[in-house]
Amino acid sequence: MSQKARVAVVHPGMGLGGSESPVLWTLEALKKDYDVTLITTGKIDLARLNTYYGTSLVTDDFSIQYAPLPMGLRSTAKFVGLKGSFFQRYVRRVASEFDVLISCYGPMDFGRRGIQMIADFAFVEEWRFSLHPGVRSWNRWWYGRSPIRRVYLTLCAMVSGASADGWKRNLTLANSDWSANLMRQKFGVESQTLYPPVEDDFPQVPFSERENGFICLGRISPEKRVDAIIEILSRVRQRGHNIHLHILGGLDDSPYGTMVKSLADQNRDWVFLEGWAIGDGKKKLLASHRYGIHGRENEPFGIAVGEMVNAGCIVFVPKGGGQVEIVNHPALVFQDDADAVDKIDAVLRSNAEQENLCQHLRQSANRFSPASFQAQIHQAVKDFLKEGTEA
């Protein structure tokens, strides 16, 4: 019996965000045929991750290697770039122990050819504000082009030990055609599009039996523009629509979190802060509502958008990003907040349009299933190992 190939799945920290979903489903896809190791930092709550992402992993399915961090960085949520540099240095050090390494959170120089998934473009410093303008007012003091920032980035580069272009040798898997196009335009790197896995086992509730309300799903942070969503739907209500909004996401005590909480309190008769919703509770809430809305511009993909679509919601998204590929309909893509109000108003007034959009989204949803993702990542690893053998 031949020995299984050793595969490392690499992610800097397993929380409850969009980039963690491909990690869990990659482990699911490879656990039977490969000797799989997850390399990460910090402890992981596997039961909670399974519940949140719909996987069924057990501790015997894979090994875990925890990359060590300096003591001062272990317990802080700050200095993400520096922590990532120490993490990358560790991965390069252990790379020789594996037949293939897969970075599930952006480019990584393994010191040799590997596989990398492009989840977002936070690694492109000059795009931080142009792609995510919602970050400006809250974080420019740190992320702006200051001497302190330049020194910090130089330190990160020194710590990681990675070459500037080493990651370009990797097989690149982009999470949308939009992301693949940006990789080509910015870096001249060709990518294969691999849509992330999106849960698809939601309760089947007829559209007519659902509540006439909206879901906003995901992390509550400035770039998600949750405050703008509340304002948009407030203006829709002013046009005579008795709608409400459930906001599903963690709320912290940051200035932005405080502002969102204040807005929700001011509109408590129709805006409901649900906190982190996971498992069956989240599925039932999504499947019991007619509509969804997303606020982040230039979202590279949008796991939350995919989940709402798979749950049977009619979902409205801003222009730009992979989220447009998910809904794939002009009636659901708004150019600005005023256009969002107009387009939501038009859909809410037309039962025929609602029926057409539901049918359209049902046909589109099967592109974003865990089964499709698992089949494609399994094939990608198989082809990668075959390529290495032939070389």
- Give the 3-state DSSP-derived string for the chain, with helices as H, strands as E and coil as C: CCCCCEEEEECCCCCCCCCHHHHHHHHHHHCCCCEEEEEECCCCCHHHHHHHHCCCCCHHHCEEEECCCCHHHHCCCCCHHHHHHHHHHHHHHHHHHCCEEEECCCCCCCCCCCEEEECCCCCCHHHHHHHCHHHHHHHHHHHCCCHHHHHHHHHHHHHHCCCCCHHHHCEEEECCHHHHHHHHHHHCCCCEECCCCCCCCCCCCCHHHCEEEEEEECCCCHHHCHHHHHHHHHHHHHCCCCCCEEEECCCCCCHHHHHHHHHHHHCCCCEEEEECCCHHHHHHHHHCEEEEECCCCCECCCHHHHHHHHCCCEEEEECCECHHHHHCCHHHEECCHHHHHHHHHHHHCCHHHHHHHHHHHHHHHHHHCHHHHHHHHHHHHHHHHHHHHHC
pLDDT at 137 over 80: no
- pLDDT of 272 over the 90 cut: yes
**Percent of the chain scored above 90 by pLDDT?**
66
Tell whether the model's pLDDT for residue 141 goes beyond 50. no
Which has more confidence, 2 or 299? Answer: 299
In this prediction, residue 1 carries a pLDDT of: 45
Which of the pair, 156 or 175, is modelled with greater confidence?
A: 175
pLDDT at 164: 80
Contacts of 294 (CB under 8 A, 6+ apart): 216, 217, 218, 224, 302, 304, 305, 308, 315, 316, 317, 318, 323
Kindly indicate the confidence band of residue 140, based on its pLDDT and cuts at 50, 70 and 90. low
What CATH class has 207-368? alpha beta
| The predicted structure's pLDDT at residue 251 | 87
Burial class (CB within 10 angstroms; exposed 0-12, middle 13-18, buried 19+) of 15: middle
CATH topology match: 6-197+370-390 vs 207-368: yes
Confidence (pLDDT) at 144 = 58
pLDDT tens digit sequence for 82-100: 887 888 899 999 999 999 9
pLDDT at 391: 54
pLDDT at res. 124: 75
Give 213-269 pLDDT, tens digit per residue.
Answer: 999 998 898 989 999 999 999 999 999 999 999 999 988 888 999 999 999 999 999
Mean pLDDT of 129-149: 58
pLDDT of 138 = 45
Tokens linked to 262: 């204040």
pLDDT at residue number 43: 85
pLDDT at 83: 84
Dump pLDDT digits (tens) for 146-166: 677 778 878 878 877 778 889
Own/partner pairs, 141-146, CB within 8 angstroms, 24+ separation: none
pLDDT of residue 123: 76
Report the pLDDT value the prediction gives residue 2, as an integer from 0 to 100.
Answer: 61
6-197+370-390 fold: Rossmann fold (3.40.50)
Domain ranges of the chain: 6-197+370-390, 207-368
